[in-house]
Amino acid sequence: MNSHPLIDVSSLETALQQFADERDWQKYHSPKNLAMALTGEVGELAEIFQWLTEEQSKSVARDSKTAQAVREELADVMLYLVRLSSVLGVDLNEAVTQKLAKNGKKYPIGDSTPSRD
């Protein structure tokens, strides 16, 4: 594996663990509950885009009507994703690195047809 991680979420994992510990939320942070919460946050992010045109969707992070909501929903998605991976014991850097390599083989340069996984 590359000696330089693509992502390093260790500080965030620690902060999220401390946040949960301080509130005694461990009992609620089962993989099932965290996956459901993550899905809800992705839904809230998608809702921002729901009725926008393709062109409007490109500027949601700069539009004063949507910029704050986009930032907050992206943060919520990241927080739940990192918390879920931590609870499951999944190394996100390793998972991302392996998936990127797998996608590189599946979609060689010059093949611009995306798939659904």
Q: Which CATH number fits domain 11-19+27-100: 1.10.287.1080, 1.20.120.1760, 3.90.1480.20, 3.30.420.40?
A: 1.10.287.1080
- Integer-rounded Cα radius of gyration of the chain: 17
For residue range 57-99, what is the model confidence (pLDDT) as tens digits?
999 999 999 999 999 999 999 999 999 999 999 999 999 999 9
Residues 6+ apart with CB under 8 A from 30: 87
Distances (CA, A) of 13 to 19, 33, 53, 82, 100: 10, 17, 36, 6, 22
For residue range 15-28, what is the model confidence (pLDDT) as tens digits?
999 999 999 999 99
Would you state the pLDDT for residue 2?
A: 54
Residue 110 pLDDT class (50, 70, 90 cuts): confident
Would you state the pLDDT for residue 112?
A: 73
For residue 41, the tally of other CB atoms under 10 A from its CB is 20
Average pLDDT of span 19-46: 98
